[in-house]
Chains A and B, each alone.
Chain A
Amino acid sequence: MVIINSILLAESLPVQTWTYILVGITFTLYIGIAIWARAGSTKEFYVAGGGVSPLANGMATAADWMSAASFISMAGIISFAGYDGAVYLMGWTGGYVLLALLLAPYLRKFGKFTVPDFIGDRYYSNTARLVGVICALLVSFTYVAGQMRGVGLVFSRFLEVDINTGVVIGMLIVLFYAVLGGMKGITYTQVAQYCVLIFAFMVPAIFISIQMTGNPIPQLGFGSELADGSGTFLLDKLDGLSTDLGFAEYTEGTKSLVDVFAITLALMVGTAGLPHVIVRFFTVKRVKDARKSAGIALLLIVILYSTAPAVAAFARTNMIETLSNQPYATVPEWFKKWETTGLITFVDKNNDGLIQYIADKNQNELVVDNDIMVLANPEIAELPNWVIALVAAGALAAALSTAAGLLLVISASVSHDLIKKIINPKISDKNELVAARLSAVVAVCVAGYFGINPPGFVAATVALAFGLAAASFFPAIILGIFYKRMNKEGAIAGMIVGIVTMLYYMLKYKLGWFDEVLPSKSQWWFGISPEGFGSVAMLLNFIVSITIMKFTPAPPKEVQDIVERIRIPSGAGEATH
């Protein structure tokens, strides 16, 4: 009887109470782990002591990787982009193949703490190291600001606190476990965060898949017939609904082939060049563990990534059927609730009281923000309150885990690459650890500042962080491993030309800094969007590096020996400081 009573009570608890309960439990868990996994040395702080198991590292990498953007925004973006959304799906997973085959094992064998470490040592030059530090900071800061904003948004929507208060709460939590635990604390909280976020993503997806197609596996439901007995495939129905409203067929998309190609490539290569992902592979014991944990990481990531396009198609079908041509007076409760946040807007242009949702911008009356698709999905599908609260806890886990990983890269770049390697090589391990913690504090504050006062370009540049990583690190690392003759002159010139070209293109064609108005698509080079331009900048980096190298001296013998050593998985060169 008591049990039945408590179940009935649980059923009737409001969403907000559920959210407080679930968020409270998960946050307590993260803090507990942080206290248990305090870092005592720089090696523990930077690479968790180098003894993380492949499974734990795979889970941590997956959580590190899947940010607020993957959790909250991606399914929504795909929902509106249809086929074109594949650039994110292939781009953000295919990069792991490059990472596993071309980078992770060799960088693990190299056995240092950071990406600029590799750049500086392999190219025997502090100039190269400094260029590496600048690139790492540029990439990581653009990325982290978006995460703090995501934390603020979730807090404000689900716990009805002010966005800024939400950002501050998020900052304090991250500060606590990143500063105390360093990489060691982050790794084990990320393992917990992976479990929370994947559970939170899958539960509503499975519910909705059953509702719409009768199939509990969203990946299969996505390609099944609708459960309404019509015998129509979900995707055929969606193609039909889309063209009726004047949109492109859902399975066709609107981007040009060359742009889809370029964006996919830029995202893949960018993924493989992101410092916060690469450093995760410095934390495992052996080279073979690095390979294996890349595979595990991708498997765990694909669980979410293969579900996202299914959620996208379900949500889009649901949305069109619930809202299109329906009277505004009778819209469901969730519509009004999200309208107050400004994420759904409706303007009755022709005053007929009905919602016209059509492709033609002049007559369209409904604007729905990408982010709603995941956040409001459980409400749209009328799922129980605890599922809605679970989504909030999952979104927070995704944002916090990525933010923590990025903050660590930022603090290591400052304390290790800048202070220890360039400014004061004589600093003791203990003082370096203090410096690392202090730079983490400063980094959290800067990230929080950007989260509270987001400069207009933050949202736009998060996607472009990939372009920057593709244009700078990827070629320098690949050439450093696979081309023994590559020298510092070539690599430095390549990185500078690559990242400057990428920045220029981004500022000109994405933010419109150099013109009165933002240049139109017809002016893009080779028809490639700023999101896809990382591919071009990367090629340019390769060309410049190799050309300059041809006219400059070969690297010294010791450096060529380093290259020989990192190609062999065993022997000298295990993780050392």
Chain B
Amino acid sequence: MKENKSKAYWKENIRYLFILLAVWFLVSFVAGIMLKDVLNDFKIGGFKLGFWFAQQGSMYVFIILIFIYVRLMNKLDKKYGYNK
């Protein structure tokens, strides 16, 4: 029983990690580097979009990702009774 519980917890945790790290990869390596030239055809204000992701946007998303993770994990801990 205890074994199963920790396995299920771990599995959900890993699923969160995959989703969050996919976004992490997307905003930095994809939007800021690989697709930079394509995105640079679009502009927000005075920023070319690819350049903005590389020098501003990816950092903001990183912060949001960590705080989403904190929330998700606090809930998950509670669900499995690991919050004590």
Which residues of A pack against B, CB within 8 Å? 78, 83, 85-86, 89-90, 93-94, 96-97, 100-102, 105, 219-220, 222-225, 233-236, 251, 257, 260-261, 264-265, 288, 291-292, 294-295, 298-299, 302, 305-306, 309, 564, 567-571
Instruction: Flag if A89 contacts B46 (CB, 8 Å).
Output: no
Given contacts A233-B45, A264-B28, 18 further A-B contacts (CB under 8 A): A86-B32, A86-B51, A86-B55, A93-B59, A97-B24, A97-B65, A100-B66, A100-B69, A101-B17, A101-B69, A222-B47, A251-B48, A257-B33, A261-B29, A288-B70, A298-B66, A567-B10, A569-B82
Closest A residue to B40 by beta carbon equals: A251
Instruction: Flag if A223 contacts B46 (CB, 8 Å).
Output: yes
| A305 CA / B56 CA spacing, docked (Å) | 9
Give the interface size bracket for B toward A: 35 or more
Q: How far is the CB of A97 from chain B (nearest CB, A)?
A: 5
**Which of B34, B40, B51 is A257 in contact with, Cβ under 8 Å?**
B34
User: 3 nearest interchain CB pairs?
Assistant: A233-B46, A86-B54, A295-B66
**What 0/1 pattern do residues 32 to 71 of B give for CB contact below 8 A with A?**
1110100010001111100110111011101101110110
| A298 CA / B65 CA spacing, docked (Å) | 11
- With A90-B28, A306-B59 given, is the CB distance from A291 to B70 under 8 Å? yes
Instruction: Flag if A264 contacts B60 (CB, 8 Å).
Output: no
| A569 CA / B33 CA spacing, docked (Å) | 36
- Measured between beta carbons, the chain A residues less than 8 angstroms from B83 are 288, 569-570
Instruction: Flag if A568 contacts B29 (CB, 8 Å).
Output: no
Instruction: Flag if A89 contacts B54 (CB, 8 Å).
Output: yes
Q: How far is the CB of B54 from chain A (nearest CB, A)?
A: 4
Closest B residue to A299 by beta carbon equals: B63
- With A85-B55, A219-B56, A251-B51 given, is the CB distance from A569 to B67 under 8 Å? no
Instruction: Flag if B66 contacts A96 (CB, 8 Å).
Output: yes
Q: How far is the CB of B72 from chain A (nearest CB, A)?
A: 10
Instruction: Flag if B62 contacts A93 (CB, 8 Å).
Output: yes
* Pairs across A and B, CB under 8 Å, 27 listed: A83-B51, A83-B55, A85-B55, A86-B33, A86-B55, A89-B54, A89-B58, A89-B59, A90-B58, A90-B59, A100-B69, A100-B70, A224-B45, A225-B46, A234-B46, A235-B46, A251-B48, A251-B51, A288-B73, A295-B63, A295-B66, A302-B60, A302-B63, A305-B59, A306-B60, A568-B9, A569-B82
